[in-house]
Structure 1
């Protein structure tokens, strides 16, 4: 792991999907390998000096679920959730590094802040409509987006309301908490901001048998994904990179 202004934090056990996710984040942020570092948190713990080396973090998704009983979680999952909480806690400080948690990561942050994550708010795999709140329209990052936009989701858990101390930035009907901010440096999204529609269908193929959708429905769902216009989520990542990335 080499030093760079921003660090992509991988929490996917599937190495092929993880490599593709890093590339999606790199392209969406318009950074290169010298300005977007890579840490595989599944296979190595968070380094002690990570907060001195990076100004910001982007945390990818995972097939793990925060709401699963602790007794069913592996030692790796418990350790990486603890490491993600360390990142979130530092980003919540006014003088800490910035962080953007996505999908699985929003559950980690919500639980850490005292909120409730449950299996009650899943979303089907594919495109969904996300709408900004009044706070979202005035936010430094989200305020540059369209007030309603299409994003890609695939998750088995969610939250009914943001955790204590968080400001709700985006919502939709199926999963009420689509994005929030804590302070001005800790962001979390339920939707995936990084993949193109093509990259998302390739990720779908990796997780075809993992219960996110009926395996024999892959072609029809992939068709809907490829037909969607997904522009705003990548703009969010570019805004994050401009604000917290290379000087």
Structure 2
């Protein structure tokens, strides 16, 4: 791997951010020195950032929603959103390798003037039964991923319709747009390809008062996540790193 992957993190909670970063490294088959990590809650994107010096960009999840009204966003959430959106014109203009996880599908959809809202398709914290579409079956990032698989989810907003020039790769009964591709190299998932049961347990404990689920159900959710067989989504992250690294 000659160029690093830029890992953009949006979580203001250090424990959650560190756990997510470790999971991205582990599931992507990378070491820290093969990445450039930026926590956008702490710092802005470098003014001299050059995509040509990177192998690709991976955006993690976060507690914010792009569809929230400006007055409902914290200053940190608003700044993070603005930073990621500012990078998207460069990425889509040159079809640069990009993988947006959960929050990333909202960012991509908003940038493409798509319909991202809370009107329908929100999913509670837990698992979703996903299915690869016929178009997805031919996509290199889904190489080795079974036609049906389980993924960890937890989101209040969702992509309501497919934006122009996007390909629908993965669906589920509860949220139709679980994975999409723009042009050839710009990807986004609604689910978390990096997440495993231990990581989701950490997030459940951190976010149990953020409106994703009744706090008193946290123990039951943790037990459900521990019992779930969620292994296929990590192949997407590994395929992304291998394809573009």
TM-score normalised per structure 1: 0.93
The size of the alignment, in residue pairs, is 242
Q: Deviations over 1:112-143 (max 9, x none)?
A: 10111111221011111111111111111124
Q: Matched residues in 1 for 2:144 and 2:88: separation?
A: 24
Q: Matched residues in 2 for 1:125 and 1:176: separation?
A: 17
Q: CA RMSD in A?
A: 1.6
Q: Pairwise mapping of residues 181-220 of structure 1 onto structure 2 (< 5 A)?
A: 181-220=181-220
Shift of 1:181: 0.4
Q: Aligned pair in 2 of structure 1 residues 4, 39: CA closer, same or farther (>3 Å)?
A: farther
3-state SS of 1:17 partner: helix
CA contact (8 A) 1:54 1:97 kept: no
CA contact (8 A) 1:158 1:175 kept: yes
Q: Which residue of 1 aligns with 2:76?
A: 76
Q: Structure 2: any 5+ residue segments left out of the alignment?
A: none
Q: Deviations over 1:41-95 (max 9, x none)?
A: 112111123224312111000100111102322343333223212333333234x
CA contact (8 A) 1:87 1:99 kept: no
Q: Deviations over 1:99-124 (max 9, x none)?
A: 10011121111011011111122101
3-state SS of 1:141 partner: helix
Q: Matched residues in 2 for 1:148 and 1:87: separation?
A: 33
CA contact (8 A) 1:28 1:237 kept: yes
Q: Matched residues in 2 for 1:60 and 1:11: separation?
A: 7
Q: Pairwise mapping of residues 8-27 of structure 1 onto structure 2 (< 5 A)?
A: 8-27=7-26
Q: Structure 1: any 5+ residue segments left out of the alignment?
A: none
Q: Matched residues in 2 for 1:27 and 1:90: separation?
A: 28
Q: Deviations over 1:156-209 (max 9, x none)?
A: 010222212111111111111101001111100000110211111111111111
3-state SS of 1:230 partner: coil
CA contact (8 A) 2:126 2:152 kept: yes
Shift of 1:219: 1.3
3-state SS of 1:232 partner: coil
Greater mean deviation of Cα atoms: 66-75 or 132-141:
66-75
Instruction: Say whether residues 1:38 and 2:37 are aligned partners.
Output: yes
CA contact (8 A) 1:179 1:188 kept: yes
